[in-house]
Chains A and B, each alone.
Chain A
Amino acid sequence: MELLEFKHVCKNFNGKMILKDINLKIPRGKIIGLLGKNGTGKSTLIKLINDALTPSSGEVLINGKKVGIESKKIIAYLPERTYLDKSLTVKESIKFFQEFYENFDAQKAQNLLSDLGLDINQTLAKMSKGMQEKVGLVLVMSRDADLYILDEPLGGVDPATRDYILDTILSNFKDGASIIISTHLISDIERILDEVIFIDEGKIILTSDADTLRVKENCSIDEIFRRKFKC
């Protein structure tokens, strides 16, 4: 049984079709890049997996069952915009996660955050954007989940922070779990991807093993993406 499956999923907003007949299977133990330009349906697709939106038609299945309360327990989701309360301190945010998620490892989060050298009594509001993103990622990656979904985890952070984020993703990627990373910053992330999904205008236009695609096209995923989506 697939970890995640989309069966003929469509999503409309006010009569406008955002996702068109999406069929997709995500296996276990892979890091998958969900790649597309801005506004092509990446975040909508991710919200459907997290049951934050419901499909207009079709089904989204996790371990063969429709998404819902049960699937939320095994999915760790880092949204594009944080849902953390910025008036909370880091310490309070850890506590919040601990109360909210059974599979949250507070000790692990604390260790990862102390590596960052930040003051856990500081409120999120007082931190830089990059630091806030790191805290968000650490909290999500400290959950013992089957599927991690990271929506634009690299948006608006400096190259050193990008490296930290990629390292944190890799070093917390446990056996059998999968990670879906949505991004348009492909060159930064492609070296850690097993598979890529290209999405454009609400349709999946390509799914492939990353290395197979590189060999076939004899260039980087970033270059292939640029060619396919030339404006």
Chain B
Amino acid sequence: MKQDFSNETPIYLQIVEKIKILIISGQILPGDRLPSVRDLALDMKVNPNTMQKALVELENLRLIYTERTNGKYATQNKKLIDKLKQEQSAKLTTYYIENMSKLGYSLKEIIEQIKKKGEKK
């Protein structure tokens, strides 16, 4: 996995975001077993303690759960995944609209732009 962490914010929170995106985008499927803390840490090139902290946070968010002695699994709660996906989508959309507004575009113009871009694809 690419290691593109910023030094400005806690690294465990950046890992939480990365894994959250993997789960809501379906790259990690509901009920998938996660690799061990050590393997995840090596994969992301972070300190295992940092990875452990991230997993605790993900568990608090109910995005993963621990099955006794068997390891950690991605949540099977599809409602939660949908909810987070919508939240993420709303966040990105707001971000986009805000920045376009700053450039002076009206909502109508923004929609036009998206359509144009979509057609080109």
Contacts and interface: CB of A to CB of B under 8 A. Distances in A.
Interface of A: 29-31, 166-167, 170-171, 173, 187, 190-194, 211, 214-215, 218-223
A192 B41 CA distance: 10
B67 interface: no
B42 A171 contact: yes
A191 B7 contact: yes
9 contacts: A29-B49, A30-B49, A170-B48, A173-B47, A191-B47, A193-B47, A211-B10, A214-B7, A219-B8
B73 interface: no
Query: Which of A166, A170, A221 is most buried by chain B, counting CB atoms within 10 A of its CB?
Result: A170
A167 B42 CA distance: 8
Interface string B1-33: 000011111111000000000000000000000
Shortest Cβ-Cβ A-B pairs, 7 listed: A220-B7, A211-B10, A192-B47, A220-B8, A194-B49, A191-B5, A214-B10
A194 B51 CA distance: 11
Contacts of B46: 170, 191-192
The listed residue with most A CB atoms (<10 A of its CB), out of B11, B46, B47, is B47
B12 A31 contact: no
B8 A31 contact: no
B7 A190 contact: yes
Contact of A214 (B9, B42, B47, B53): B9
B45 interface: yes
A187 B49 contact: no
Nearest to B53: A211
Nearest to B41: A170
Contacts of A211: 10-12, 50, 53
Contacts of B6: 220
Contacts of B8: 214, 218-220, 223
Nearest to A29: B49
A167 B45 contact: yes
A171 B45 CA distance: 9
Interface string B49-70: 1100100000000000000000
A101 B9 CA distance: 40
Contacts of A191: 5, 7, 11, 46-47
Nearest to B5: A191
Contacts of B11: 191, 211
Interface in B72-120: none
A190 B5 CA distance: 11
B45 A221 contact: no
A219 B53 CA distance: 20
A194 B47 contact: yes
